[in-house]
Amino acid sequence: MKKFALILVMILFVCSGAFGQGFLKKIGKNAKDKTTDRSESTVDKAVDKAFDALDGILDGKKKDKKAKDGDDDEEDEDENPGAGKKSFAGESALWDCTNPECGHKGNTGKFCSECGAKRPAGLASSLSMFGKYTTSKIVFMPGSAELKFESFSEIQKIAEYMKSDPQARLIVQVVYVNTTPNSKEDALSEDRAKNIVKALIELGCDEFSLKAVDKDYAGLSAKDKSGLKGLYSVFIKK
């Protein structure tokens, strides 16, 4: 009898919640009422029933928790449709306005907080939707094809994209848009593109997936050039 009582007390201590405690007490009472000979086998059967009940309660709690977690995930997805979807790591949450009359830096929304210009498509999405990506973040020493140090974060982003997609093939062009450079600067176009290709190869990109072209390559259409002004590097998907 003492053994039976001790086991029931331990079960009640482990089981949390008023429902679980009441349920186990009821099982213990029924077992006691039905046991006349208090034999060892009868006690064991009662204990087994108690443990079965405990397992059932705990399983039920686990299922309820799992269902609740699933509901929470669905709510998060409704509130934030992009939740759980991985975006290309090279695409920053902050962006600089491409409007030459504005140039506001550090925007966070879909539109520039200063002039209202729409956020330009990121690298991966731009290549996917339009087959090209245009950036002014790759800069060179004046009158030279030598890349400036501040260009490498943008080149690193392009290298990450290419390494994430082994099938990617890019044509690289450096060109002035809606502005007239001097003849020396203009003549550097292809050499500058070659230096970008060289930098990408040094970062682990496949040299056979890259090709440098000169300023005369038809990389940008008139529509592409709308709103742009200055020196741009263009990456065109083959």
pLDDT, residue 84, reads: 37
Taking the CA of residue 169 as centre, how many other CA atoms within 13 Å lie in the half-sphere pointing to its CB?
Answer: 5
What b/e readout covers 225-235, taking b as 16+ CB neighbours within 10 angstroms?
eebbeebbbbb
- Helix (H, G, I), strand (E, B), or coil: what is residue 95? strand
- Residues 83-137 have pLDDT tens digits of 333 444 445 567 677 676 787 888 877 788 888 877 766 788 888 888 999 999 9
**Packing angle, helices 152-164 and 189-202, rounded to 10:** 60
Taking the CA of residue 145 as centre, how many other CA atoms within 13 Å lie in the half-sphere pointing to its CB?
Answer: 18
**Tokens describing residue 7:** 């086991």
CA 212, CA 163: separation in Å to the nearest integer? 18
Check: CB of residue 171 under 8 Å from CB of residue 211. yes
Q: Profile the chain (238 residues) by mean pLDDT over runs of 10 residues.
A: 58 54 55 52 61 61 54 45 42 67 79 80 81 94 94 95 92 94 87 97 96 94 90 94
* Residue listed under structure tokens 């060179």: 140
Question: Per residue, what are the HEC states of 172-235?
Answer: EEEEEECCCCCHHHHHCHHHHHHHHHHHHHHCCCCHHHEEECCCCCCCCCHHHHCCCCEEEEEE
pLDDT, residue 117, reads: 78
pLDDT, residue 188, reads: 95
Q: What is the DSSP letter of 140?
A: B
pLDDT, residue 44, reads: 63
CA 212, CA 207: separation in Å to the nearest integer? 11
What CATH number labels 131-237?
Answer: 3.30.1330.60
pLDDT, residue 212, reads: 97
Residue 236 pairs in a beta bridge with: 132, 171
Handedness of CA 81, 86, 87, 90 (dihedral sign): positive
pLDDT, residue 61, reads: 55
Name the residue ranges covered by the structural domains of the chain: 2-79, 89-120, 131-237
